[in-house]
């Protein structure tokens, strides 16, 4: 996509907090209203979080953040968090932001509704913004897309949900999120990928298809997330997941985050095989 601030209509004003950052696009009021306009009640009951225990283990676990603004995150990430109306981080967010910004791997046991989607999206996008714009977003000469962030999710519904959140938190940045999932024609998804993709939300089967077609390469992945990993195993996706993580050319220098409601034996094996020197957190129960 062309840089927005190069068109007359979308010049940044000198009073803009990001006026001097050429990696940040001008505000787009219509898009902003669409992304952030109808803030629904989050459904998160913050009061009830006060006494939820968080168990943390691992070597020298990084300190959790207290609030978003005082954290080490990129200013654009903080800006988008404010636009989304998040004032207080949930427990899993406090820990995940500390762990991701410290460069560590994470295994998190947390229930749906704990704010785990934002817990991985916010710090990863913040790191993306700090890392700066790479050559990764546009297809290479052979038409292959090389996302920097890969998020695996079990279902189309969850993939779409993560994708919608990713659009919010990547607002005004160079990170272009895309999503691919099965059960729907691949053509539209391919055309969307061709417009550039820095962050890809995928279900395992459809991603394997794209890898086999040579349309996606994992050689640029710096951040890998497995969301609802136990559910992906229950649905029989282990061969596809292992293929994606272990048999493609995904760099081992990546950071990996796994989220799961439960931590049975097969999950422990995945954690052992995919994570390096990880921090384990368990929220509630
Ligand atoms: P999970 O991924 O654990 O199911 P979500 O991340 O979807 O939970 O969060 C549930 C809802 O709460 C979403 O509508 C999300 O936008 C909102 N939410 C998440 N974190 C916060 C926060 N820190 N402050 C306010 N709302 C939040």
Predicted confidence (pLDDT) per residue in 144-174, tens digit: 999 999 999 999 999 999 999 999 999 999 9
Rg (CA), the chain: 18
- 245 vs 224: CA distance, rounded Å: 9
User: 44, 69, 95: which to mutate for ligand 1, most atoms within 8 A of CB?
Assistant: 44
Task: Tell me, in angstroms, the distance from the centre of ligand 1 to residue 81's CA.
Answer: 11
- CA-nearest residue for atom 11, ligand 1, is 42
State what percent of residues in the chain have pLDDT above 70. 90
Contact 258, 270 (CB under 8 A): yes
CB atoms within 10 A of CB 142: 8
Distances (CA, A) of 206 to 8, 68, 231: 40, 35, 17
Is the pLDDT at 177 greater than 60? The verdict is yes
For residue 88, the ligand 1 atom closest to its alpha carbon is 23
Give me the count of residues in the chain.
Answer: 285
User: 47, 89, 115, 155: which to mutate for ligand 1, most atoms within 8 A of CB?
Assistant: 115
Q: Can you tell me the mean pLDDT for 4-29? A: 82
State the virtual CA torsion across 222, 160, 279, 274 in degrees, nearest 10.
-60
Reported as a pLDDT band with limits 50, 70 and 90, residue 139 is confident
Cβ(204) – ligand 1 distance below 6 Å: no
Contact 133, 139 (CB under 8 A): no
Residue 260: φ, ψ to 5°: -155, 145
Task: Tell me, in angstroms, the distance from the centre of ligand 1 to residue 142's CA.
Answer: 39
Q: Report the pLDDT value the prediction gives residue 43, as an integer from 0 to 100.
A: 66
- 193 vs 184: CA distance, rounded Å: 15
| Burial of 263: CB neighbours in 10 Å, binned 0-12, 13-18, 19+ | middle
User: How would you list the strands of the sheet with 199-202, edge to edge?
Assistant: 54-57, 279-283, 106-109, 255-260, 223-226, 149-152, 199-202, 177-180
- Six-digit token pair at 107? 């295994």
- CA-nearest residue for atom 6, ligand 1, is 115
Indicate the pairing of strand 54-57 with strand 279-283.
antiparallel
Q: What is the mean pLDDT of the chain?
A: 92
- The predicted model scores a pTM of 0.94
Q: Report the pLDDT value the prediction gives residue 272, as an integer from 0 to 100.
A: 97
Contact 84, 167 (CB under 8 A): no
- CA-nearest residue for atom 20, ligand 1, is 115
Is the pLDDT at 135 greater than 60? The verdict is no
Concatenating the DSSP letter of every residue in 104-169 gives --EEEE--TTSSHHHHHHHHHHHHHHHH---GGGS--TTS-B--SEEEE-SSHHHHHHHHHHHHHH
Cβ(42) – ligand 1 distance below 6 Å: yes
Cβ(89) – ligand 1 distance below 6 Å: yes
Task: Tell me, in angstroms, the distance from the centre of ligand 1 to residue 167's CA.
Answer: 15
Q: Report the pLDDT value the prediction gives residue 111, as an integer from 0 to 100.
A: 87
Cβ(86) – ligand 1 distance below 6 Å: yes
């Amino acid at each position: 996509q062309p840089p927005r601030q190069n068109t007359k209509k979308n010049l940044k004003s000198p009073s803009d907090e990001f006026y001097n950052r050429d990696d940040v696009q001008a505000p787009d009021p219509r898009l902003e209203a669409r992304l952030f306009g109808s803030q629904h009640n989050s459904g998160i009951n913050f009061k009830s979080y006060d006494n939820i225990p968080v168990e943390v283990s691992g070597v020298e676990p990084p300190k959790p953040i207290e609030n978003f603004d005082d954290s080490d995150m990129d200013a654009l990430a903080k800006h988008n968090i404010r636009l989304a109306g998040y004032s207080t981080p949930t427990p899993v967010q406090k820990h995940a932001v500390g762990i991701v910004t410290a460069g560590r791997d994470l295994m998190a046991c947390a229930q749906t509704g704990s704010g785990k989607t934002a817990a991985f999206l916010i710090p990863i996008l913040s790191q993306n913004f700090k890392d700066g714009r790479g050559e990764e977003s546009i297809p290479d000469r052979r038409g292959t897309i090389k996302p920097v962030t890969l998020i695996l999710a079990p279902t189309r519904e969850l993939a779409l949900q993560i994708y919608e959140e990713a659009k919010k938190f990547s607002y005004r940045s160079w990170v272009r999120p895309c999503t691919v999932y099965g059960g729907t024609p691949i053509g539209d998804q391919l055309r969307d990928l061709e417009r550039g993709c820095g962050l890809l939300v995928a279900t395992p089967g459809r991603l394997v298809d794209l890898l086999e077609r040579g349309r996606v390469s994992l050689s640029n992945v710096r951040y890998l997330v497995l969301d609802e990993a136990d559910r992906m195993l229950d649905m029989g996706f282990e061969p596809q997941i292992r293929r994606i993580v272990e048999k493609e050319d995904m760099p081992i220098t990546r950071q990996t985050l796994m989220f799961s409601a439960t931590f049975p034996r097969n999950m422990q094996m995945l954690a052992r095989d995919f994570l390096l020197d990880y921090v384990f957190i368990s929220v509630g129960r």
